[in-house]
Amino acid sequence: MKNRGLPAVFPFQMMQIFFNTPALALRNVPHSISSEVGVMKSLYLSMAAFALAASISPGPVNLVSLSTGARHGLPVAMRHVAGATLGFTLLLVLIGLGLHQLLVLLPWLTTAIQWAGVAFLLYLAWRLAVDNGALHSAEGGPVASFAGGALMQWLNPKAWLAAIAGTGAFAADGDAGRVWLFAAIYCVVCYLSLACWAIAGTCLQPYLQAPQRVRVFNRVLAGLLVASAGYLVLA
């Protein structure tokens, strides 16, 4: 029996497959890449939005940044901001890499951190309340140092909650690369957010030239810190 048409059709079909398959593959590459880029952009924006919401909202570290900027000026306040930023970034990385599991195994450690944070907030409130109101004075007021800012984050329950919630949302599988990515984004956003509070404090300096105004300002901040401590106790 003669093979009608098969030798001609079969090679032709094979040639079509051979030449068209790479074209189809290349046609799909940009779509695949654009989809992946879109997913990564969404991830970056989500991480940045979470970091901004957690960092810019009022809290103990923000209030101290505001007070330090108003009392000592921006250069001193930025030392506190840098310390608080790096202190939180270290906390975030350690929690993302497994420190939260230690808190699950040792529940009393969470309670100890909470009460240490309450005690530290009350101490800062007391320092503000008894401040003499003199601008650029070394007496009274919270510790405005790099180490003091870092220590505040480790004793700040808000920082622990933000770190645990953030790593749970963006690096729940313990992916080290995702943890470091989140920490890098959070570090930048946290620094800029706290810097805004410090700058706001320096903008208040013209209105706080009189010691009595500074004392009123400090007592208002002290009251807010006491309220934060009370919320932690009742929560």
**Segment 126-173, tens digit of pLDDT:** 988 887 766 555 554 555 789 989 998 998 888 988 898 888 888 877
Among 169, 162, 151, CA closest to 43? 169
Task: Give just the sign of the alpha carbon dihedral 222, 223, 226, 227.
Answer: negative
Q: What is the mean pLDDT of residues 199-204?
A: 94
Percent of the chain exceeding pLDDT 90 equals 31
Contacts of 196 (CB under 8 A, 6+ apart): 56
CA distance 91 to 199: 25
Range of the domain at 61: 43-234
Q: What is the pLDDT of residue 169?
A: 85
- The pLDDT tens digits of the residues spanning 72-118 come to 889 999 999 999 999 999 999 999 888 777 777 878 877 888 888 88
CA distance 234 to 98: 28
CA distance 58 to 128: 17
Does residue 229 belong to any structural domain of this protein?
Answer: yes
Q: Which two tokens stand for residue 216?
A: 């009123």
Does residue 202 belong to any structural domain of this protein?
Answer: yes
Predicted TM-score (pTM) of the model is 0.76
23 pLDDT band, cuts 50/70/90, is: very low
Does residue 71 belong to any structural domain of this protein?
Answer: yes
Amino acid at 93: V
Does residue 117 belong to any structural domain of this protein?
Answer: yes
Q: What is the pLDDT of residue 118?
A: 85
CA distance 211 to 76: 20
Q: What is the mean pLDDT of residues 190-210?
A: 92
Does residue 122 belong to any structural domain of this protein?
Answer: yes
Reduced 3-state DSSP string for 44-68? HHHHHHHHHHHHHCCCHHHHHHHHH
Contacts of 106 (CB under 8 A, 6+ apart): none
* Residue 57 scores a pLDDT above 80: yes
Among 192, 160, 150, CA closest to 56? 192
Does residue 3 belong to any structural domain of this protein?
Answer: no
Least confident of 30-39, 42-51, 154-163: 30-39
Does residue 86 belong to any structural domain of this protein?
Answer: yes
Better-scored residue on pLDDT, 130 or 16: 130
Contacts of 218 (CB under 8 A, 6+ apart): 67, 71, 128, 129, 131, 133, 141
Does residue 35 belong to any structural domain of this protein?
Answer: no
The count of structural domains within the chain is: 1
